[in-house]
Amino acid sequence: MATTLREVAAAAGVSMATASRALAGSPTVAAGTRDRVRRAATELGYQPNRAARQLATGRGQAIGLVVPDLQNAFYASVATGIHRRVRDAGLTAVIADTDEDPARELEVLGQLAMVTDGAVLASPRSTDAELAEAAERSRFVLVNRMLDGVPAVVGDNVEGIIQAVRHLTALGHDRIGYAGGPAASWSDARRRDGLAEAVRRGLVGPRSVVDLGAFRPGPAGGIDAADQAVAAGVTAILAFNDQLALGILGRLIDRGVAVPGRMSVVGFDDVPVARLLAPPLTTVAVPAMEIGRTAVEILLNETEASNRILPVELQVRRSTAEPPRR
């Protein structure tokens, strides 16, 4: 079996990223380190030519990214962060969209394991047991999901929801509807934990939060969520993510419900289009590009499973205001 870049890096006592740059002759790597990496490559019989290496082993100097929906701008930002870090390491990125199909997700992960040096798996819909089994066959880092024994990078979902609830209650809202994400979503479960924590801290009363249901982010889910919110008589909607919030805003406009005059709307993620809407969307900013960059950093430089929870911050714009007077 041919030698891999990871084996060369281990023999030289450097990270995969450093080994890749050293073999490419990058001036950012000290001369002594370059020599050490090249000696290790020669001694191990490493083939640095990508085409030859792929023919011999079926593997390439690449990092895979598996996402459930590339039309979601959040994942596009994660992909940008991944691409930049991968490029800096002298590698390439391979992206696959699974259309939120758990079976397709595991199939793609297995395929990438044969042609890449590792993968980033974003918001997987597979079960914990399925992911644990996959982790025994291939190396990957989770994004927007945590699982014992598998490295992961997530935004602080609980803190993000608490910030949003604090903002809405400060404006005077005492009937807030939560429009949840897909039932199998790990992030949605954590955001619901945030609502429970807000109640526990006394930031909002237990009867002040109305569960509007679970919705698939997008226009269809937004229509349903907005209709449920109007029927429930809430004065503010806290959406699972910005994609769902966009659909909600569109439906409220169609129904003649003024935002924020009659209904306030808060999203989650802060995708680029959020600030360009009419009105600009109040939303919890998640550092998507930093999440992508950090996931690759873990993949390249860490051998032990570790979790990173990155801070989030509410961005207050014009889609929220005081509730209408009764």
3-state helix, strand, coil in the chain (%, to 5): 45, 20, 35
- Among 48, 134, 52, CA closest to 91: 48
Q: Please tell me what DSSP assigns to residue 190.
A: H
Does pLDDT of 6 surpass 70?
Answer: yes
Q: Please tell me what DSSP assigns to residue 118.
A: -
At 252 the pLDDT is 97
Does pLDDT of 191 surpass 60?
Answer: yes
Query: Residue for token digits 């509410």?
Result: 314
Helix axes 16-23, 5-12, angle to 10 degrees: 100
CB atoms closer than 10 angstroms to residue 11 = 18
Does pLDDT of 54 surpass 60?
Answer: no
Tens digit of each residue's pLDDT (9 = 90 or more) over 83-94: 999 988 888 899
| 92-97: strand order across its sheet | 92-97, 62-67, 119-122, 140-143, 152-155, 307-310
Share of the chain above pLDDT 90, in %: 63
Does pLDDT of 19 surpass 90?
Answer: no
Average pLDDT for 299-324: 91
**Annotation: CATH topology of 157-287:** Rossmann fold (3.40.50)
Q: What is the DSSP string of 53-80?
A: HHHHHS--SEEEEEES-TTSHHHHHHHH
Query: Domain limits of the chain?
Result: 5-56, 58-154+289-309, 157-287
At 57 the pLDDT is 40
Tokens of 13: 């006592």
Two domains, one topology: 5-56 and 58-154+289-309: no
At 27 the pLDDT is 66
Lowest mean pLDDT among 123-137, 237-251, 305-319: 123-137
Does pLDDT of 305 surpass 90?
Answer: no
Question: 173 with 137: CB under 8 angstroms?
Answer: no
Rg (alpha carbons) of the chain, rounded to whole number: 23
Average pLDDT, the chain: 89
Lowest mean pLDDT among 10-24, 47-61, 275-289: 47-61
CA angle 56, 61, 67 (to 5 degrees): 120
Q: Which CATH number, 3.30.200.20, 3.40.50.2300, 3.40.50.12780, 3.90.600.10, labels domain 58-154+289-309?
A: 3.40.50.2300
Does pLDDT of 135 surpass 80?
Answer: yes
pLDDT band at 24 (very low <50, low <70, confident <90, very high): low
Does pLDDT of 175 surpass 70?
Answer: yes
Residue at 121: amino acid letter:
L
At 53 the pLDDT is 43
pLDDT band at 116 (very low <50, low <70, confident <90, very high): confident
Tokens of 137: 């066959």
Name the pTM for this structure.
0.80
Residue at 88: amino acid letter:
D
Question: 300 with 89: CB under 8 angstroms?
Answer: yes
CA distances from 210 to 107, 179, 201, 204, 206 (A): 38, 9, 17, 11, 9
- Among 189, 13, 36, 10, CA closest to 23: 36
Average pLDDT for 65-75: 89
At 3 the pLDDT is 74
At 324 the pLDDT is 92
pLDDT band at 125 (very low <50, low <70, confident <90, very high): confident
At 102 the pLDDT is 85
Query: Residue for token digits 């860490």?
Result: 302
Average pLDDT for 111-136: 89
Let me know how long the chain is: 326
At 69 the pLDDT is 85
What whole-number distance in Å separates Cα of residue 60 and Cα of residue 269? Answer: 33
What CATH architecture applies to the domain 5-56? Orthogonal Bundle (1.10)
Whether the ω angle into residue 260 lies within 30 degrees of 0, i.e. cis, is: yes
Share of the chain above pLDDT 70, in %: 93
Tokens of 317: 């714009």
Does pLDDT of 75 surpass 60?
Answer: yes
E strands in 167-263: 176-180, 209-214, 236-239
At 274 the pLDDT is 96
What whole-number distance in Å separates Cα of residue 162 and Cα of residue 156? Answer: 10
